[in-house]
């Protein structure tokens, strides 16, 4: 019989009321010994499978978003957006060096470049103008 338990994600909130669940019992699959108590779940337990996979990729890439984008076949702006989303989901408020609107404009310009809607020189000029 195939063990599918490794594919099941630990629920972190109650399916009835939405309140955060506590971990109460741990059981050894071999001898059935149970350990009971009230344990808190770590920050990473509430991550989606997608966020968890991105985090693992980010860590194995030693924090290089350029390497992450290559491994996941995504654009740099998409990798950066995924990292920002991951930080928000972990409850980490990270201040940015530039305003969100300016940041989004650059991301939009780079996406246009990637999709072939604009050429490199034009995008570069627009970014340089925005920085002045």
Distance of CA 108 to the CA centre of its chain: 20
| Residue 97 pLDDT > 60 | no
Predicted local distance difference test score (pLDDT) of residue 100: 55
- Cβ-in-10-Å burial (0-12, 13-18, 19+) of 58 comes to buried
Query: Helix (H, G, I), strand (E, B), or coil: what is residue 27?
Result: strand
pLDDT, tens digit (0-9, with 9 covering 90-100), for 30-79: 999 999 988 777 778 778 888 888 999 999 999 888 999 889 888 888 88
Rounded Cα distance, 36 and 71, in Å: 41
Residue 101 clears pLDDT 80, i.e. is over it: no
The residue whose two tokens read 């509430």 is 46
Task: Report the pLDDT averaged over residues 15-41.
Answer: 86
Q: Please tell me the distance from the alpha carbon of residue 120 to that of residue 109, in angstroms, as a whole number.
A: 10
Residue 1 binned pLDDT confidence (cut-offs 50, 70, 90): very low
DSSP 3-state of 67: helix
């Amino acid at each position: 019989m195939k063990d599918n338990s490794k594919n099941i994600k630990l629920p972190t909130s109650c399916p009835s009321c939405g309140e955060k669940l506590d971990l109460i019992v741990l059981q050894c699959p071999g001898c059935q010994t149970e350990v009971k108590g009230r344990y808190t779940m770590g920050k990473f337990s509430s991550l989606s499978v997608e966020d968890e996979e991105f985090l693992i990729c980010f860590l194995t890439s030693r924090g290089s978003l350029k390497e992450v984008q290559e491994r996941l076949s995504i654009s740099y702006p998409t990798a950066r957006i995924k990292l920002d989303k991951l930080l928000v989901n972990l409850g980490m408020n990270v201040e940015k060096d530039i305003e969100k609107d300016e940041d989004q404009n650059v991301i939009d310009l780079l996406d246009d470049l990637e999709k072939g809607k604009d050429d490199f020189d034009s995008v570069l000029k627009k970014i340089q103008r925005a920085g002045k």
